[in-house]
């Protein structure tokens, strides 16, 4: 997917208003009914329908009429919302070239007003997968579709929280600047991923520094879980910076030792192969404890002394909750335990898409819980949506099945025009459309809800 930020310039306030309305609707709908979007956006003269066409054209929305007529955000639409918020907050003023494509992220340079260049990471969970592709896919298929946008936001929230906490404790990580939705802005690391480096002046020292980091992380109660040559940056002075934290776990995780050993093994293997390091001679003293280490001088997980409370104290203060951690961990691990997520917590799901109508729509709670659209507060209701259409939500959001949408575009435009005319007529008559009255049941106080949303939207 191409992030064409030029489009941002052409988008009007109304366009963003409708885009935001779709985002809001997605808190309890996988596909947001068109009528609901119209009600949330509250544009005059059926303006919503006109705007929907524009947003569709720019691929910021995906249209779905398989069960009822509705829309959902694409990753691009979500990108635009995050970028717009960042720009409004003055975090940066321009988006530059793409500098990285991770497994599940896109990294761009962004520039501050004073010319400082920062790095922006847009999380894209579901594009490839974290790990355990197969098991996760299977699991998701059974489990019903996951809301990738929600998971990407969680990943960003987690990464940001960890980056900040690690920085506070003197770990060499980028400076965490800002987070919004699935987007993180951080300092730009000068250097290259270790995987691109063919020669080092002091491979022993670099190796020891890196293994020392794994050990120090564990002392602080953490395991990186993806600690390898792709997530370690090194500059010309051979200074190390570690990146990429959404998959980190606590040392109390049930598989902690396995993750720790795997991180260690990755580094050993890489240095052995790339720099011909021989470990017996070089790093017998890496683990200061006598109990630890195996024959190759590897640090031993159980021999590491813990400095307690790191995760609990600092991360809970960051807005990244235990529940967020559980959700994202379930996704990463593709665990079968997931079946208990929504069921036990009764999140606001659309249980049956045929009952589009059943909007769990005491919507005012959505607004309150999420103070502003930019809120980092967790939003349980958009976590999982029951649907038989899990395949559709699958992976590459940007491809977006938009081909179908294109084929049906003419039809869709006709339908939107028709709905628009109906809305205008209804507005003239001063009452709701028949469809608005009947297409779903609104349990919540419509007017109070709408006025709250209205207040938030007015800030756009």
Nearest C-alpha neighbor of 190 from the set 266, 275, 79, 116: 116
Q: What is the DSSP string of 218-258?
A: HHTTEE-SS-STTSEEE-TT--EEE---TT-EETTSTTHHH
> Which of the choices ligand ADP, Mg ion, none does residue 422 contact, using the CB cut-off of 5 to 8 A by kind?
none
Specify the pairing of strand 441-442 against strand 358-359: parallel
Burial zone of 73 (CB within 10 Å; 0-12 exposed, 13-18 middle, 19+ buried): buried
Radius of gyration (Cα) for the chain, nearest Å? Answer: 24
Nearer to ligand ADP, 68 or 230 (CB): 230
What's the min distance (Å) between Cβ of 197 and ligand ADP? 12
* Site for ligand ADP contains 395 (CB under 6 A): no
* Site for ligand ADP contains 370 (CB under 6 A): no
Candidate list 1, 8, 107, 296; residue touching ligand ADP; CB under 6 A? 107
Burial zone of 375 (CB within 10 Å; 0-12 exposed, 13-18 middle, 19+ buried): middle
Candidate list 8, 188, 240, 426; residue touching ligand ADP; CB under 6 A? 188
> Mask 147-186, x = binds ligand ADP (CB under 6 A)?
---------------------------x-----------x
Nearer to Mg ion, 30 or 244 (CB): 244
Compute the residue count for the chain: 460
Positive or negative: CA dihedral 252, 254, 257, 258: negative
Residue 379's Cα: distance from chain center in Å?
13
Window 55 to 94, contacts with ligand ADP (CB under 6 A): none
Candidate list 1, 5, 102, 321; residue touching ligand ADP; CB under 6 A? 102
User: Which helix or strand (DSSP H or E) is residue 140 part of?
Assistant: helix 133-143
Residue 128 corresponds to which tokens in the numbers above? 């490839």
Question: What pairs with residue 108 in β-bridges?
Answer: 98, 120
Nearer to ligand ADP, 187 or 408 (CB): 187
Nearer to ligand ADP, 70 or 174 (CB): 174
> Which residues have a Cβ under 8 Å from the Cβ of 428 and sit 6 or more positions away?
none
> Which of the choices Mg ion, ligand ADP, none does residue 7 contact, using the CB cut-off of 5 to 8 A by kind?
none
Nearer to ligand ADP, 244 or 379 (CB): 244
**Segment interacting with ligand ADP, rule: CB under 6 A, options 11-19, 100-108, 265-273, 419-427:** 100-108
Window 215 to 274, contacts with ligand ADP (CB under 6 A): 230-231, 243-244
Nearer to ligand ADP, 58 or 245 (CB): 245
What's the min distance (Å) between Cβ of 244 and ligand ADP? 4
Let me know if 226 is a catalytic residue.
yes
User: Which helix or strand (DSSP H or E) is residue 81 part of?
Assistant: helix 75-89
Q: Cα–Cα distance between 72 and 149 in angstroms, integer? A: 10
Candidate list 104, 314, 325, 397; residue touching ligand ADP; CB under 6 A? 104
Residue 360's Cα: distance from chain center in Å?
24
Candidate list 96, 100, 172, 357; residue touching ligand ADP; CB under 6 A? 100
* Site for ligand ADP contains 328 (CB under 6 A): no
Q: Cα–Cα distance between 271 and 154 in angstroms, integer? A: 33
Catalytic-role residue among 15, 38, 79, 226 = 226
Q: Cα–Cα distance between 330 and 74 in angstroms, integer? A: 23
Residue of closest CB approach to ligand ADP: 102
Positive or negative: CA dihedral 198, 201, 206, 207: positive
Residues with catalytic annotation? 226
Q: Would you tell me which residues interact with ligand ADP (CB under 6 A)?
A: 99-100, 102-105, 107, 119, 121, 174, 186, 188-189, 193, 230-231, 243-244
């Amino acid at each position: 997917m191409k992030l064409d930020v030029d489009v941002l310039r052409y988008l009007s306030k109304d366009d963003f208003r409708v885009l935001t309305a779709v985002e809001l609707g997605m808190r309890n709908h996988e596909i947001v009914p068109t009528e609901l979007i119209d009600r949330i956006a509250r544009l005059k003269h059926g303006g919503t329908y006109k705007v929907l066409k524009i947003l569709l054209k720019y691929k910021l929305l995906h249209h779905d009429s398989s069960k009822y007529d509705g829309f959902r955000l694409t990753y691009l639409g979500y990108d635009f919302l995050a970028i717009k918020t960042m720009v409004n907050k003055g975090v940066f003023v321009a988006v530059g070239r793409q500098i990285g494509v991770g497994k599940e992220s896109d990294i761009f340079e962004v520039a501050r007003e004073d010319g400082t260049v920062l790095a922006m990471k847009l999380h894209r969970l579901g594009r490839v997968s974290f790990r355990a592709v197969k098991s996760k896919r299977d699991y998701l298929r059974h489990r019903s579709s996951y809301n990738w946008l929600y998971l990407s936001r969680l990943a960003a929230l987690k990464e940001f929280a960890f980056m900040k906490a690690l920085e506070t404790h003197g770990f060499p990580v980028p400076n965490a600047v800002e987070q919004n939705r699935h987007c993180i802005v951080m300092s730009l690391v000068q250097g290259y991923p270790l995987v691109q480096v063919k020669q080092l002046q002091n491979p022993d020292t670099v190796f020891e520094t890196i293994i020392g980091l794994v050990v120090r992380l564990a002392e602080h109660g953490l395991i990186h879980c993806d600690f390898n040559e792709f997530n370690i940056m090194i500059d010309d002075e051979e200074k190390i910076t570690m990146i990429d934290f959404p998959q980190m776990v606590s040392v109390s995780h049930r598989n902690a030792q396995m993750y720790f050993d795997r991180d260690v093994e990755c580094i050993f293997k890489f240095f052995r192969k790339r720099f011909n390091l021989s470990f017996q001679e070089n790093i017998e003293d890496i683990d200061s404890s006598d109990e630890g280490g195996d024959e190759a001088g590897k640090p031993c997980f159980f021999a590491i002394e813990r400095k307690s409370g790191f995760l609990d104290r600092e991360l809970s203060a960051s807005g990244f909750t235990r529940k967020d951690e559980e959700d994202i961990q379930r996704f990463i691990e593709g665990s079968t335990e997931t079946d208990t997520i929504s069921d036990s917590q009764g999140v606001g799901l659309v249980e049956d898409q045929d009952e589009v109508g059943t909007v769990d729509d005491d919507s005012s709670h959505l607004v309150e819980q999420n103070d502003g659209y930019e809120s980092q507060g967790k939003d349980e209701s958009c976590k999982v949506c029951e649907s038989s259409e899990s395949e559709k939500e699958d992976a590459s959001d940007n491809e977006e099945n938009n081909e179908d949408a294109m084929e049906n575009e003419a039809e869709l435009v006709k339908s939107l025009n028709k709905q628009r005319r109906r809305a205008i007529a209804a507005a003239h008559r001063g009452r709701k459309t028949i469809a608005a009255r009947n297409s779903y049941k609104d349990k919540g106080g419509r007017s109070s809800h709408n006025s709250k949303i209205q207040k938030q939207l007015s800030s756009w």
